[in-house]
């Protein structure tokens, strides 16, 4: 449990919580690659939605982190 708190302190709460979104994506990916399960269009659409959500959340967390630090000089 202490490692979870370290991740939250280093990456922020929003970025650390996005890890939960990767669980179904990783399970489906492993199933398709190693178990030769089919990849229907719904699975591909779901994976796209998950990756898009993670990208949006990571961008939002980065923006919030920068605004909390104040104006960046020289950038």
Residue 33 CA to its chain's centroid (Å): 21
Whether residue 39 lies inside any domain: the answer is yes
Whether residue 20 lies inside any domain: the answer is yes
Whether residue 19 lies inside any domain: the answer is yes
Mean pLDDT taken over the chain:
77
- Among the listed residues 20, 12, 23, 19, the one whose alpha carbon sits nearest the alpha carbon of residue 60: 12
Whether residue 73 lies inside any domain: the answer is no
Whether residue 72 lies inside any domain: the answer is no
pLDDT at residue 2 tops 70: no
Whether residue 14 lies inside any domain: the answer is yes
The percentage of residues in the chain with a pLDDT greater than 70, rounded to a whole number, is: 75
Whether residue 59 lies inside any domain: the answer is yes
Domain limits for position 8: 2-67
pTM above 0.75, yes or no: no
What is the number of structural domains in the chain?
A: 1
Whether residue 74 lies inside any domain: the answer is no
């Amino acid at each position: 449990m202490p490692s979870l708190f370290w991740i939250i302190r280093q990456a922020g709460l929003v970025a650390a919580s996005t890890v939960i979104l990767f669980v179904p994506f990783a399970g489906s990916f492993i199933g398709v690659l190693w178990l030769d399960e089919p990849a229907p269009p719904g699975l591909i659409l779901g994976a796209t939605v998950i990756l898009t959500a993670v990208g949006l959340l990571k961008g939002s967390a980065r923006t919030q982190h920068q605004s909390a630090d104040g104006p960046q000089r020289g950038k």
